[in-house]
Amino acid sequence: MIAQSTLIEGKITDAETSYALPYSNVFIPATKEGGFANDEGIFQLKADGVTDNDSIWFSHLGYEEIRITLGALKKMGNVVAAKPTQYNLAEVVITPFGARDMVKSAIANTKQNYPSDYSKIRMTFKDFSKRSGHRSHYTYFDLDAYIKSYQGKKMEMFSKVYSYEMYDKKGEFAVGMKPENILQFAMVENTFKEDKLKDFEFTYLGNTTYNNSELDVIGYKSIPTKKNDFVTVSGRVFITKEKKAIEYIEFNVKSERAKRFFLVAKMDTLNVVAQIAFKPVDTLYVVDYAVQTTYAMGTLFGKRDNLVYSTTVKTKDVKLHLKPEEVYPKKEVEEIMKKEKPKDISLMKEDPDMRLK
């Protein structure tokens, strides 16, 4: 008798913000089936012979692990809300200056902890916008990215494209990004520029272990000024204890005042959420994924809109220390974006899978 296959699907969110929690790990212990959510927090798993009494586990760095039954998942409407980890500071005595110095030290270690010569990353890139729930534009590339260096000022990218899709909606305004834009943002030296550290308060939150790696956790928050007292920037940085390398960074940018853009848009609320994760390869750390999503509500061209802009890169495979002759000498993504006109978004059938299992 063949066991019946069950499709298990749902969405993982941050319990405090209700925003998607991308690339969370999902595991069913009864069948040893596992995978992870995509860039929008959506997961799908097929499992044989499971019942509502079987367990499903969810985990993400910086969040409390969730272990529930499949029956409980259904009762929750297949939406799981993960709570940020609460850390015990009882035995920790690290000053705010000490916490800042830990971040500063990790930035100084960029050259020894991340590639400083050419590396090749097989990755997918996804960029889209939604207006009041419907897709406004959508771009997807499956590519090899040839990255010159992870040092911020030296970062340059060539690209070889395997497949791509580009769509937009005629008459609708959309701002798109390129893979190189978000990769520039993900480089540690660009993310936390040393001369900008003085603009933040840093707090040592504690330590944690994830995927057999011991990490120090630093919280940060922007210091208010007269110029930007209505904008707050906060988040957490996870630094490996052994190599003092940044493994994960999260950002939350919140504007508490209506702001006008380009004379055509007035946003009453504006929140930007970003996550950057690195993974160990040999003795170095390389980009695993980077996700930046903007949520806004306001008026665009005189019409009330809920807006979502999201950009993602996700790594599939990595090759380090390329020889000069191994570097692909073209920038095919830029060439395609410049020369080809996107198709009408009504022709788009479904999203490609960003999980890349």
In a domain, 356, yes or no: no
Q: Please indicate, yes or no, whether residues 175 and 68 belong to a single structural domain of this protein.
A: no
List, in order, residues 6 or more apart from 283 with CB less than 8 Å away: none
Mean pLDDT of 234-238: 96
Q: Would the pLDDT of 48 be above 70?
A: yes
Residue with token string 């959506």: 42
What's the whole-model pTM score? 0.91
Q: Please indicate, yes or no, whether residues 290 and 231 belong to a single structural domain of this protein.
A: yes
Greatest Cα pair distance, the chain, in angstroms, is: 71
Higher pLDDT, 320 or 228: 320
User: Which domain does 306 fall in, by range?
Assistant: 96-347
Q: Please indicate, yes or no, whether residues 104 and 219 belong to a single structural domain of this protein.
A: yes
pLDDT at 227: 76
Q: Would the pLDDT of 171 be above 50?
A: yes
Nearest to 316 by CA among 186, 187, 124, 147: 124
Determine the Cα–Cα distance for residues 46 and 49; give it in Å rounded to an integer: 10
Helix and strand totals (H; E) in the chain: 6, 19
Q: Please indicate, yes or no, whether residues 76 and 100 belong to a single structural domain of this protein.
A: no
Q: 265-281 and 259-261: which strand pairing?
A: antiparallel
pLDDT at 148: 93
Tens-digit pLDDT profile for residues 15-24: 999 999 999 9
Determine the Cα–Cα distance for residues 273 and 19; give it in Å rounded to an integer: 8
- 3 state SS for 173-219: CCCCCCHHHHHHHHCHHHHCCHHHHHHEEEEEEEEEEECCEEEEEEE
Tens-digit pLDDT profile for residues 249-304: 999 998 876 555 544 456 678 899 999 999 999 999 999 999 999 988 877 666 77
Residues β-bridged to residue 47: 6
Residue 45 belongs to domain with CATH number: 2.60.40.1120
In a domain, 355, yes or no: no
Q: Are 27 and 56 in contact (CB under 8 A)?
A: yes
Q: Please indicate, yes or no, whether residues 136 and 106 belong to a single structural domain of this protein.
A: yes
Residue 91 banded pLDDT, cuts 50, 70, 90 = low
What six digits make up the tokens of 1? 């008798």
Domain boundary among 82, 111, 145: 82
Determine the Cα–Cα distance for residues 123 and 290; give it in Å rounded to an integer: 11
In a domain, 104, yes or no: yes
Domain boundary among 28, 49, 82: 82
Higher pLDDT, 100 or 296: 100
Q: Please indicate, yes or no, whether residues 189 and 259 belong to a single structural domain of this protein.
A: yes
Average pLDDT across the chain, whole number? 89
In a domain, 276, yes or no: yes
Mean pLDDT of 172-199: 86
Domain boundary among 48, 82, 116: 82
Contacts 24+ apart (CB under 8 A), 56-59: 56/8, 56/26, 56/27, 56/28, 57/25, 57/26, 57/27, 57/28, 57/29, 58/12, 58/24, 58/25, 58/26, 58/27, 58/82, 59/24, 59/25, 59/27
Q: Please indicate, yes or no, whether residues 163 and 294 belong to a single structural domain of this protein.
A: yes
